[in-house]
């Protein structure tokens, strides 16, 4: 209980730091922000979130319904392939399509050659570096959130509900909207809220496309204007967005109670459709994978092959090692803390423990830029205090021990992704019958021995999956890494960002491809866990 309380206090420290600094800044520029840039940041952020939310909702629901209830060529392949865009960070796909669709790119170049156009004034072509372009890029890689949870919800529903609805004269489409979708709404709401929070977190895409969102404003206020208090005030505004999203998600399912049906494990009888309808289902599933993974992956592979000799250099090797080290350290740390929290709740399943578990998950809802502000404030304060103390007592300077080292990054990653490991372990522990604990205790084992010798061996698969998911998330994390990384310290994510910012897209291909390939393994594991949750005809 004490360890859970201490962990929760440490995890919530960044949130409290942001709020404190926002209300007590050294220089209050809040009135200036309200009069000048904040309305634009808010408006653009809302437009981006609405656009991405609508796009991911349409793609996620349509593809989840198709692979779950419709029989068409390639259905089994798309069951897991629909998750592949999840492995591509939004900023990577933005860089790829910019290189392909810009005026100097191969697409417009080919069109000019075909039709004899000589300049941009001769034709119209959509501008990729725009709010609409950012919406499309982010939506293509975030729809798997909705797809994943919607498909899991569809698989858990009773086939008899569908049969009864059809027997009452409702068409398949009417049954979907009147029966299936309302039952799946809580899961879809969770997926959509995750999409919107990740959209709020994005920096690489909006920065590259010059879209002025709250995250871009935070970076500009802090790094360009040098005003940490103003950045904290923008960060607090982003936290308000997150609170609203979480509140709306919970409010939408406040009166819903769902119980497992007796036949929810029966094989699903899918539709046999005409050839045109099969092609529609195929297109619904194939297009997001094509534009969200195949084209970006093939482009990165081609560029990486052509520029391999230039890209494979000491900087690339060093930055790859940095990413592997930080991601591994964060995955191990979140796993240890997650097991501690989840097992503490199993031993002390009280109201207080439930509150602590919820508070410890706050970091996952915090955008990376906000978290960076919250981390740097207490760590820098501690470093300054310690440095002053050591100067006064021993006459030596300790420098930036925490805020200027990799510790700050590992700490930020741990706070942000702790909910992933803690939630996974807690869910798996709930499936282990309490009689296992009783039997172990009756044989003289302590709670610690019971955890080590009984529970951890049974949780091996869950622990590996949780660690992999956290590892990949850390590999992709850009906003927090940009702010907190030490001097002359780069990861693959910041390495790609630096090349792209310098318009050297070809040289960013190899590190970007490594990030994408690292994300494929947990995707396959997640898809298998969902498919195995129900026997399918």
pLDDT confidence band for 209 (50 / 70 / 90):
very high
**Among the listed ranges 10-14, 77-81, 85-89, which one has the minimum average pLDDT value?**
10-14
Local confidence band at 5 (pLDDT 50, 70, 90 cut-offs) = confident
pLDDT tens digit sequence for 269-295: 676 778 888 899 999 999 999 999 999
Q: Is 27 exposed, middle or buried (0-12, 13-18, 19+ CB in 10 A)?
A: exposed
Predicted confidence (pLDDT) per residue in 15-43, tens digit: 888 888 888 887 788 888 888 888 999 99
- 370: Cβ contacts below 8 Å, ≥ 6 apart: 18, 218, 235, 238, 239
Contact between 108 and 169 under an 8 Å Cβ cutoff? The reply is no
The mean pLDDT of 456-481, rounded to a whole number, is 86
Buried b vs exposed e over 437-450: b needs ≥16 C-beta within 10 Å? beebeeeebeeeeb
Q: In the predicted model, is pLDDT for residue 503 greater than 80? A: no
Mean pLDDT of the 417-428 span: 82
Maximum Cα interatomic distance, the chain, rounded to a whole number of Å: 86
Helix axes 38-69, 228-252, angle to 10 degrees: 40
pLDDT of residue 267: 60
CA–CA separation, 89 and 3 (whole Å):
35
Contact 52, 138 (CB under 8 A): yes
**Cα R_g (the chain), whole angstroms:** 25
Contact predicate 9/17, CB 8 Å? no
> What mean pLDDT is predicted for residues 296-324?
91
The CATH superfamily holding the domain 1-21+29-257+266-533 is MetI-like (1.10.3720.10)
CB 251 within 8 A of CB 186: no
Q: What is the predicted pLDDT for the residue at 224?
A: 79
pLDDT at 531: 60
For residue 320, name the pLDDT band (cuts at 50, 70, 90): very high
Q: β-strands 271-272, 70-71: how paired?
A: parallel
Mean of pLDDT values over 184-206 = 87
Give the residue-averaged pLDDT of 402-423: 87
Computed over every residue of the chain, the mean pLDDT equals 84
Q: What is the pLDDT of residue 138?
A: 95
- Please give the model's pTM, rounded to 2 decimal places: 0.85
Q: At 516, list the tokens.
A: 């994408």
Statement: residue 398 has pLDDT above 90: no
Kindly list the distances between the CA atom of residue 444 and the CA atoms of 67, 439, 453, 457, 466, in Å, as whole numbers in the listed order.
50, 9, 13, 19, 31
447 Cβ contact list (under 8 Å, min separation 6): 343, 347, 441
SS3 of residue 399 by DSSP: coil
- For the chain, percent of residues with pLDDT exceeding 70: 90
* pLDDT band per the 50, 70, 90 thresholds, residue 404: confident
CA distance 21 to 37: 20
Q: Between 224 and 196, where is the model more confident?
A: 196
Supply φ then ψ for residue 56, to 5 degrees: -70, -30
Query: What's the confidence (pLDDT) of residue 42?
Result: 93
pLDDT above 90: residue 60 = yes
pLDDT given for residue 323 in this prediction: 94
**In the prediction, which pLDDT does 528 show?**
67
What confidence score (pLDDT) does residue 535 get?
Answer: 45
Closest CA to 421 of 346, 478, 363: 363
Q: Per residue in 221-266, pLDDT tens?
A: 887 777 888 888 898 888 888 888 777 766 666 655 554 444 455 5
| pLDDT band at 529; cut points 50, 70, 90 | low
Q: 11 with 333: CB under 8 angstroms?
A: no
Q: What is the dihedral of CA 475, 480, 481, 486, to 10 degrees?
A: -150
pLDDT tens figures, 109-139: 999 999 888 888 888 898 999 999 999 999 9
pLDDT for 16 equals: 85
Query: Which DSSP state fits 485?
Result: P
């Amino acid at each position: 209980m004490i360890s859970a309380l201490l962990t929760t206090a440490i995890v919530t420290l960044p949130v409290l730091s942001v709020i404190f600094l926002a209300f007590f800044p050294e220089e209050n520029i809040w009135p200036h922000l309200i009069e000048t840039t904040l309305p634009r940041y808010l408006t653009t952020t809302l437009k981006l979130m609405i656009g991405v939310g609508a796009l991911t909702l349409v793609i996620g629901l349509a593809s989840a319904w198709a692979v779950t209830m419709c029989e068409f060529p390639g259905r089994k392949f798309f069951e897991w392939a629909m998750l592949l865009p999840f492995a591509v960070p939004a900023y990577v796909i933005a860089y790829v399509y910019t290189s392909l669709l810009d005026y100097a790119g191969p697409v417009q170049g080919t069109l000019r050659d075909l039709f004899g156009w000589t300049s941009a004034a001769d034709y119209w072509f959509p501008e990729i570096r725009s709010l609409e372009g950012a919406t499309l890029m982010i939506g293509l890689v975030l729809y798997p959130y909705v797809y994943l949870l919607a498909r899991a919800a569809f698989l858990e529903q009773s086939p008899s509900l569908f049969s009864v609805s059809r027997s009452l004269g409702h068409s398949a489409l009417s049954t979907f909207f009147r029966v299936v979708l309302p039952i799946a709404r809580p899961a879809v709401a969770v997926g959509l809220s995750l999409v919107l929070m990740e959209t709020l977190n994005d920096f690489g895409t909006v920065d590259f496309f010059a879209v002025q969102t709250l995250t871009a404003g935070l970076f500009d206020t802090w790094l360009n204007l040098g005003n940490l208090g103003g950045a904290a005030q923008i960060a607090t505004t982003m936290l308000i967005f997150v609170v609203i999203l979480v509140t709306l998600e919970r409010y939408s399912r406040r009166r819903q109670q769902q119980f497992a049906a007796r036949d929810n494990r029966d094989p699903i009888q899918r539709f046999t459709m005409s050839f045109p309808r099969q092609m529609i289902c195929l297109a619904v599933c194939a297009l997001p994978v094509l534009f969200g993974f195949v084209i970006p992956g093939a482009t990165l592979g081609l560029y990486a092959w052509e520029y391999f000799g230039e890209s494979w250099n000491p900087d690339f090797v060093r930055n790859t090692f940095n990413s592997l080290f930080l991601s591994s350290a964060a995955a191990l740390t979140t796993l240890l803390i997650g097991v501690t929290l989840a097992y503490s709740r199993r031993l002390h399943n009280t109201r207080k423990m439930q509150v602590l578990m919820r508070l410890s998950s706050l970091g996952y809802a915090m955008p990376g830029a906000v978290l960076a502000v919250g981390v740097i404030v207490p760590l820098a304060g501690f470093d300054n205090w310690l440095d002053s103390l050591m100067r006064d007592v021993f006459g030596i300077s300790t420098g930036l021990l925490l805020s200027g080292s990799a510790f700050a990054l590992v700490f930020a990653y741990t706070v942000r992704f702790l909910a992933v490991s803690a939630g996974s372990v807690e869910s798996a522990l709930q499936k282990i019958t309490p009689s296992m604990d009783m039997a172990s205790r009756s044989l003289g084992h302590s709670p610690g021995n019971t955890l080590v010798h009984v529970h951890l061996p049974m949780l091996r698969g869950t622990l590996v999956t949780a660690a992999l998911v956290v590892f990949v998330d850390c590999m992709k994390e850009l906003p927090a890494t940009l702010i907190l990384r030490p001097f002359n310290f780069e990861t693959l994510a910041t390495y790609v960002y630096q090349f792209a910012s310098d318009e050297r897209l070809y040289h960013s291909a190899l590190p970007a491809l490594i990030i994408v390939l690292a994300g494929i393994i947990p995707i396959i594991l997640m898809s298998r866990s969902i498919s195995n949750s129900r026997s399918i005809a």
